[in-house]
Chain A
Amino acid sequence: MKRGLGELESTIMDRMWAYHKPASVRDVLEDLRKDREIAYTTVMTVMDKLHTKGLLKRKPVGRAYVYEPVASKEAYTAELMRDSLAASGNQAATLVHFLERLTPEEATALEAALQVFPPGGRKQ
């Protein structure tokens, strides 16, 4: 279980991604209050932080801001995966494995090699 502000950030981002439309702090607050007690200022602080981090963009509507994710969750995920797996990347930062791409011939040869062994496998 993640705790504290980190968890709230994650929850709020998930809601924002799910809305598919801009939402104000009030909208998010009402949504969150279905599940838990939470203060307006807490939600505002976290959403402001998410904006500072570049995850949410906002524009003033009336006296408040409406927020919207900068990019979709899928786009962020793809970026995160690509960043950590980049060939030029620092291997020591994230240990990424199984990265080689096999040619179709190699893949077929390996699949064939696997077929020889019983599905139950053997130790050693």
Chain B
Amino acid sequence: MIVPLFLALYSVVAAVLLPRLLARASWTSRAPRLAIGMWQAAGFSAVAAALLAAISLAVPTDLIGHGLARFFEACTELPDLSLTGVRAGLAGAALIVARLAYSVADVVLRTRRERRRHAEMLALLGRPDGDLGAVVVEHAERVAYCLPGRRAQTVITTGALASLTPDQVAAVLAHEHAHLRGRHHLVLAGAEILTRAFPRVPLFERARAELARLVELLADDMAARRHHRIHIAAALVGLATGRVPAFALAAGGETALTRVRRMLHPHEPLERRERLSALLAVAGLLAGPAALVAVPGLTSFLAHHCHGLFS
């Protein structure tokens, strides 16, 4: 009984407390790639723990943790939950898997349909520019984006081209190419799948917002390898100003401000010690749920084979 309880508790803590902890961390903008890995590991960890909690409820605990019952006598004293427990566990596991599967199919199909429709219209409305390596769309609004997928395309409007210098255009396109090369749409799709499968879970909602921000920072950093940071910053300002309200995703431009400041005043990269502890945290998140399952098994193994230790 103790294993599913621990796992469920772990899952709840991960879903509620982790986002607060992670969102407050200031190192994330210094190491966006690591931060992306951290959020993904957190999401995986929470789901894995919930799933394992349900499974360990269904599979008789003495199979995995034979010795545990003896250590926690109290557990064996509990009313016989086996049948209800098995049912509840199986139902819980099936529910989690079904929601995930449905959400994956939903997001994948919808995304593919939207992209295909978009690409079709783009073929009619845009003009591929070989020199830029992008599709140019005649439109006054300053917009640059990329359309991921098998036939990935980078799109820029004439409005954006007119308001940016060639250096800035190159920087913007490098940013878009970084998104495509880094498969950032998969990061966002993963976050989308989790929020859809398990709505209103703080961890997943927060992760989606943070991952959207972090892939931008990461793409800025990738673009900064080949382009002057000042050009990226200037392009950001050029694109973020003079936009009509209907086109604004987030008024206030908090992310734009951070990104411009980041480009102008680059932060120190993480120190080795900081990086190491972040990596350890990622490893902990990935291994945590499995470790919780293994604990009683280990204890029982020890109890069976190492009597000497306990007597």
Q: Which residues of A contact B (CB under 8 A)?
A: 1-2, 6, 9-10, 13, 55, 73-74, 76-78, 80-85, 87, 89-103, 106-107, 110-111, 113-114, 117-118, 120-124
Q: A95 vs B153: C-alpha distance in the bound complex, in angstroms?
A: 10
* Interface segment out of the listed B6-14, B77-85, B252-260: B252-260
Does B206 count as interface, using CB distance less than 8 angstroms? no
CB distance from B121 to the nearest CB of A (A): 5
Q: Is the Cβ of A102 less than 8 Å from the Cβ of B241?
A: yes
Q: Which of B185-199 contact A (CB under 8 A)?
A: 185-186, 188-189, 192
Q: Chain A contacts of B264 at CB under 8 A? A: 113-114, 117
Does B285 count as interface, using CB distance less than 8 angstroms? no
Q: Is the Cβ of A101 less than 8 Å from the Cβ of B243?
A: yes
CB distance from A101 to the nearest CB of B (A): 3
Q: Is the Cβ of A73 less than 8 Å from the Cβ of B138?
A: yes
Q: Chain B contacts of A101 at CB under 8 A? A: 240, 243, 245, 247-248, 250-253
> Who on chain A is nearest to B147 by CB?
A94
Q: Chain A contacts of B141 at CB under 8 A? A: 81
Q: Is the Cβ of B228 less than 8 Å from the Cβ of A100?
A: no
Q: For this complex, into which size category does the number of interface residues on chain B fall?
A: 35 or more
> Who on chain A is nearest to B117 by CB?
A83
What are 29 A-B interface contacts by the 8 Å CB criterion?
A: A6-B123, A76-B121, A76-B124, A77-B137, A80-B118, A80-B125, A80-B137, A81-B139, A81-B247, A87-B250, A90-B107, A91-B188, A91-B192, A93-B185, A96-B143, A97-B145, A97-B219, A98-B142, A98-B239, A100-B248, A100-B249, A100-B253, A101-B252, A102-B256, A106-B252, A110-B260, A114-B234, A117-B230, A121-B167
Q: A70 vs B260: C-alpha distance in the bound complex, in angstroms?
A: 42
Q: Is the Cβ of A124 less than 8 Å from the Cβ of B224?
A: yes
Pick the contact of A100: B121, B186, B233, B254 (CB < 8 A). Answer: B254
Does B76 count as interface, using CB distance less than 8 angstroms? no
Q: Chain A contacts of B125 at CB under 8 A? A: 73, 76-77, 80
Question: Given A76-B124, A81-B137, A81-B157, A123–B253 Cβ distance below 8 Å?
Answer: no
Q: A90-B107, A92-B188, A121-B229 are in contact. List 9 more A-B contacts (CB 8 A).
A: A73-B138, A74-B139, A80-B137, A92-B186, A95-B185, A96-B145, A97-B145, A100-B254, A110-B237
Q: Is the Cβ of B145 less than 8 Å from the Cβ of A82?
A: no
Question: Given A10-B124, A98-B256, A122-B230, A92–B185 Cβ distance below 8 Å?
Answer: yes
Q: Is the Cβ of A121 less than 8 Å from the Cβ of B145?
A: no
Q: A99 vs B254: C-alpha distance in the bound complex, in angstroms?
A: 11
Q: Chain A contacts of B237 at CB under 8 A? A: 102, 107, 110-111, 114
Q: Is the Cβ of A92 less than 8 Å from the Cβ of B146?
A: no
* Interface segment out of the listed B29-37, B108-116, B275-283, B296-304: B108-116
Question: Given A82-B247, A94-B147, A100–B216 Cβ distance below 8 Å?
Answer: no
Q: Is the Cβ of A121 less than 8 Å from the Cβ of B240?
A: no
Q: A58 vs B115: C-alpha distance in the bound complex, in angstroms?
A: 28
Pick the contact of B111: A87, A93, A111 (CB < 8 A). Answer: A93
Pick the contact of B260: A77, A85, A113, A122 (CB < 8 A). Answer: A113
Q: Is the Cβ of B138 less than 8 Å from the Cβ of A95?
A: no
Q: Is the Cβ of B228 less than 8 Å from the Cβ of A82?
A: no
Question: Given A10-B124, A77-B125, A99–B250 Cβ distance below 8 Å?
Answer: yes
Pick the contact of B212: A6, A91, A106, A120 (CB < 8 A). Answer: A91
Q: Is the Cβ of B145 less than 8 Å from the Cβ of A100?
A: no
Q: A1 vs B257: C-alpha distance in the bound complex, in angstroms?
A: 38
Q: Chain B contacts of A103 at CB under 8 A? A: 252-253
Q: Is the Cβ of A106 less than 8 Å from the Cβ of B257?
A: yes
Q: A97 vs B137: C-alpha distance in the bound complex, in angstroms?
A: 16
Q: Is the Cβ of B249 less than 8 Å from the Cβ of A87?
A: yes
Q: Is the Cβ of B118 less than 8 Å from the Cβ of A93?
A: yes
Q: Is the Cβ of B229 less than 8 Å from the Cβ of A94?
A: no
Most buried by B among A9, A74, A76, A121: A121
Q: Is the Cβ of B179 less than 8 Å from the Cβ of A78?
A: no
